[in-house]
């Protein structure tokens, strides 16, 4: 599903070059729940941004579903992110002026899905994450765990091929964090989506099919 071939990302700091990620080769097959674990500053988020086509590698190639992302135009990459990649972040990123149902429905409305059908799909995904009773609540009325469940439903409503989660439990207590990890582990395979979770928590590794450990921008063997 996703393959990284000797991928690196460098940033210039005056006369110096800082490698956030370097020499990463990784092959993640379709349907796998893959956990990338590493301490803060190890390059996890940079790696995820490269997979999401939100950033461009300085060296190496990122392949998504057999397609080299470097060969894609900006318009193609925009459609790729919209239709085939779901993103979940630590900070939830719910729109405060939309209800839980409206937040979930938004990506499908941007795809110009029929309004009534999209509303049904949003309700189905809210049911899947256990939030049917909270559909008409505003983000500020939700707990952190509930807000992250809404974010997961929003990421999955387009039925993406790839779900990328960047420290999705970072703003939650340990109990709510375990609930979110369990939910991701359950919903991913059931939806046929390939999931990549990056986290600093070693406890998250037990939810994945396979784990990659990152240190100082490189895979730690």
**Structure confidence at residue 165 (pLDDT):** 93
Q: Which residue range(s) make up the domain with 199?
A: 29-56+72-219
Residue 126: alpha-carbon gap to chain centroid: 18
Q: State the Cα–Cα distance between residues 116 and 105, nearest whole angstrom.
A: 10
Q: For position 4, what pLDDT does the model report?
A: 95
Count of H helices and E strands in the chain? Answer: 6, 10
**pTM for this one?**
0.89
Total number of domains constituting the chain: 1
Calculate what percentage of the chain has a pLDDT beyond 70. Answer: 99
Q: For 133-151, what is each residue's pLDDT tens digit?
A: 999 999 999 999 999 999 9
CATH, residue 205:
3.40.50.300
The pLDDT tens digits of the residues spanning 29-64 come to: 998 999 999 988 899 999 999 999 999 999 999 998
Q: What is the pLDDT of residue 13?
A: 83
Residue 176 lies in a domain: yes
Q: pLDDT (tens digit, 9 = 90+) per residue, 148-176?
A: 999 999 999 999 999 999 988 888 888 88
Is 45 within the bounds of a domain? yes
pLDDT at 83 over 90: no
Please indicate, yes or no, if residue 88 is contained in any of the structural domains.
Answer: yes
pLDDT at 151: 94
Average pLDDT over residues 80-109: 92
Q: What mean pLDDT comes out for the span 6-14?
A: 91
How many degrees, rounded to 5, is the angle at CA 5 between CA 189 and CA 66? 55
Instruction: Flag whether pLDDT at 221 surpasses 70.
Output: no
Burial 203-218 (b: 16+ CB within 10 A, else e): ebbebbeeebbbeebb
Residue 83 maps to a domain? yes
2 domain-assigned: no
- Report the distance separating Cα 212 and Cα 221, nearest Å: 9
Pairing relation of β-strands 210-215 and 33-37? parallel
Give the Cα separation of 44 and 38 in Å (integer): 7
Q: What is the pLDDT of residue 179?
A: 86
- pLDDT(206) > 90: no
Residue 16 inside a domain? The answer is no
In a domain, 15, yes or no: no
Residue 22 domain flag: no
Q: Look at the chain and count its residues.
A: 221
| Alpha-carbon span 183 to 125, nearest angstrom | 12
């Amino acid at each position: 599903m996703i393959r990284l071939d000797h991928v690196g990302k460098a940033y210039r700091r005056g006369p110096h070059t800082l490698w956030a990620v370097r020499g990463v080769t990784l092959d993640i097959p379709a349907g796998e729940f893959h956990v990338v674990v590493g301490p803060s500053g190890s390059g996890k988020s940079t790696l995820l941004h490269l997979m999401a086509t939100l950033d461009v590698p300085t060296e190496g190639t990122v392949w998504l579903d057999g397609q080299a992302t470097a060969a894609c135009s900006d318009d193609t990459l925009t459609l790729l992110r919209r239709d085939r990649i779901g993103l979940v972040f630590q900070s939830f990123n719910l729109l405060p002026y939309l209800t839980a149902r409206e937040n979930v429905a938004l990506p499908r409305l941007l795809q110009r899905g029929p309004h009534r059908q999209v509303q049904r799909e949003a309700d189905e995904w809210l049911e899947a994450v256990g939030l049917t009773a909270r559909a008409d609540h505003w983000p500020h009325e939700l707990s952190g765990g509930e807000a992250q469940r809404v974010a997961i439903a929003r990421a999955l409503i387009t039925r993406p091929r790839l779900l990328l989660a960047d420290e999705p439990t970072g703003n939650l207590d340990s109990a709510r964090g375990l609930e979110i990890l369990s939910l991701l582990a359950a919903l991913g395979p059931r939806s046929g989506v390939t999931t990549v979770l990056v986290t600093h928590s070693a406890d998250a590794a037990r939810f994945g099919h396979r784990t990659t450990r990152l240190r100082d921008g490189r895979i730690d063997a």
